[in-house]
Amino acid sequence: MKLRMGFRAPALLAAVMFSTSSFAADVEHQTDYSIALAGLPVARASFHTEVEKNRYTISGTLNSAGLVDIISRTRGQTRVSGVIGRDRLRASEYSMSYRSGRKERAINVSFRNGNVVHASMVPKRSPLPKNWVPVTSRDMRNVLDPLSGLIIPASSRVCPNTLPIFDGESRLDIKLSPKGTRNFRTKGFEGEVIVCGIRFVPRAGYRKGREDVEYLRRLETMEIWYAKANGVDVYAPVYARIPTKIGPVTVSATRFGG
């Protein structure tokens, strides 16, 4: 699996934690993640969240590490802002940019009431391959961004659940299924977490028949673990595992608040 997904996938799985229960006061929250391939560090991600009344802003960075940093240095930034709703977080603006070696890309998406009103990607993918599945206007209705889309209010079920994600280029569903509970410990958190099986269902904005996409589509052993922060009413990921042909990719919180 190419590490072109090195920013998009970890950002998708390593969504940051923040409060929805204390709107009267400003809230700041810091969450850090370590990303490894077959036990070897490949990247670090860090997310900072600010909440003011019912509005939120999440800013994140990702940096390659270990041998990956030597072979092809990768740096990325992302930001999302929006409004906290009763059942979901609704973004208004989402952006992501990254540079990996000589390749760089910037994505910007504007939302209104869960619908995409503008999306741009620079440079554009051109020319589009013949097996490209195009994104239609219907694909961009009632969707979530890849950062705050993974944060689930405690009043909603964590899994089973289906998260309709649009990241500025691709439209996919993340299907969560219940797999019990586990214990998890990291800086700022110690306790029981909810374990969900995870399935990727590509909808549009990808090359049909592409090997890595088909591999993810067929996988039935991916997991994502959700933790609830003390005193707040949302769940967010603290651990994720994606098997690959050369070893598992793991995303693990090294700091969850605190």
Instruction: Check residue 140 and give its pLDDT.
Output: 96
Q: What is the rounded distance in angstroms from the CA atom of residue 8 to the CA atom of residue 149?
A: 13
Residue 103, classified by CB atoms within 10 Å of its CB into exposed (0-12), middle (13-18) or buried (19+), is exposed
Instruction: Check residue 230 and give its pLDDT.
Output: 61
Question: CA separation (Å) from 34 to 116, 120, 145, 182, 253?
Answer: 31, 29, 22, 19, 6
At 233, which CATH number?
A: 2.40.360
- List the structure tokens of 238: 């603290």
Instruction: Check residue 246 and give its pLDDT.
Output: 86
Q: What is the rounded distance in angstroms from the CA atom of residue 256 to the CA atom of residue 186?
A: 7
pLDDT tens across the length of the chain (258 residues): 443 433 344 444 444 333 333 333 367 778 899 999 888 888 899 988 887 877 888 899 998 887 666 566 889 999 999 988 778 889 999 999 998 888 899 999 999 999 999 999 999 888 888 999 999 999 999 999 999 899 888 788 899 999 999 999 999 999 999 999 999 999 999 999 999 999 999 999 999 999 988 999 999 999 999 998 665 567 889 999 999 888 899 999 999 975
**Number of domains into which the chain is organized:** 1
Whether 117 contacts 166, CB under 8 Å: no
Range of the domain at 135: 5-256
Q: What is the rounded distance in angstroms from the CA atom of residue 108 to the CA atom of residue 93?
A: 8
Angle at the Cα of 179 from the Cα atoms of 176 and 171, rounded to 5 degrees: 15
Instruction: Check residue 233 and give its pLDDT.
Output: 66
Q: What is the rounded distance in angstroms from the CA atom of residue 147 to the CA atom of residue 80?
A: 7
Instruction: Check residue 14 and give its pLDDT.
Output: 42
- List the structure tokens of 99: 């540079």
Whether 213 contacts 1, CB under 8 Å: no
Instruction: Check residue 64 and give its pLDDT.
Output: 85
Instruction: Check residue 12 and give its pLDDT.
Output: 46
Q: Which tens digits make up the pLDDT trace of 149-192?
A: 998 887 888 999 999 999 999 999 999 999 999 999 999 999 99
Instruction: Check residue 101 and give its pLDDT.
Output: 82
